[in-house]
Amino acid sequence: MCESGGEARDEVQLTHQQLCLEEVSQAVTCPSCGAISIFIGTTRDSFEGKKVVQLEYEAYAPMAQSEIRKICKEIRTRWPTVRHICVYHRLGVVPVTEASVIIGISSPHRRDSLEAVQFCIDTLKASVPIWKKEVYQGDEPCWKENQECPWTGSRAAS
C-alpha cells in the first residue's frame, strides 16, 4: 500500500505462478482513493459448445509487458485521476475457474477506475500479443493468437 503523496505506480507482471487477487488489490490500495475496480479473466469450461479442459498461454514476455505498459500510459492520459494500475497475466496452463489475468485500478472517485478497468481489458485483448491454446475434451487442442486482435479474424469476447 502506498502513501497518499507518493508516485503513481504501474505494476505489470507476467508469471507462471497462480495469480493472487489480494496482491493486486494491495498493490493499488491508496489512502487518497475511494475506489478500486478489479477485473479477473478466468478459464471457463466451454467454448462454442466444446468442453474446455484447460487453457495454456504463451507470450514473448518483454514484448507483452511493453504493450501492457503502453495501455497503462494511455489510461493515464484518458483518466488523469487514476492512481495505481496493476496488471498480472499468467502464462502456461490455467485450469478451469483459475485466473489468467487480474487487473486492478484505483482512483479517488469510482467512475474513473470503473471506466479505466474496462478500457484496460478491452485494449489488452485487442493489442497484446499473447497466444492461447485451448485444450478440449475429445478434440484436438487449438492455438490462437489473442482472439480479439484485429489480425487474427476471430470473434467472441471472453
How far apart CA 146 and CA 92 sit, in angstroms, is: 14
Closest approach, Cβ 62 to a copy of itself, in A, equals: 26
Question: Is the alpha carbon torsion for 74, 11, 68, 141 positive or negative?
Answer: negative
Binding pattern for the stretch 40-69 against a copy of itself, x by CB under 8 A and - elsewhere:
xxxxxxx-----------------------
81 binds a copy of itself (CB under 8 A): no
Q: Which of 29, 65, 123, 127 binds a copy of itself (CB under 8 A)?
A: 29
Residue whose C-alpha cell is 494511455: 74
How crowded is the C-beta side of 9, counted as CA atoms within 13 Å?
20
Does 33 sit near a copy of itself (CB under 8 A)?
Answer: yes
CA separation for the pair 131, 59 (Å, rounded)? 6
Position 7 contacts a copy of itself (CB under 8 A): no
Using an 8 Å Cβ cutoff, are 70 and 91 in contact?
A: no
For a copy of itself, the binding residues (CB under 8 A) are 1, 4, 21-22, 25, 29-46, 96-97, 108-111, 114, 117-118, 121, 156-158
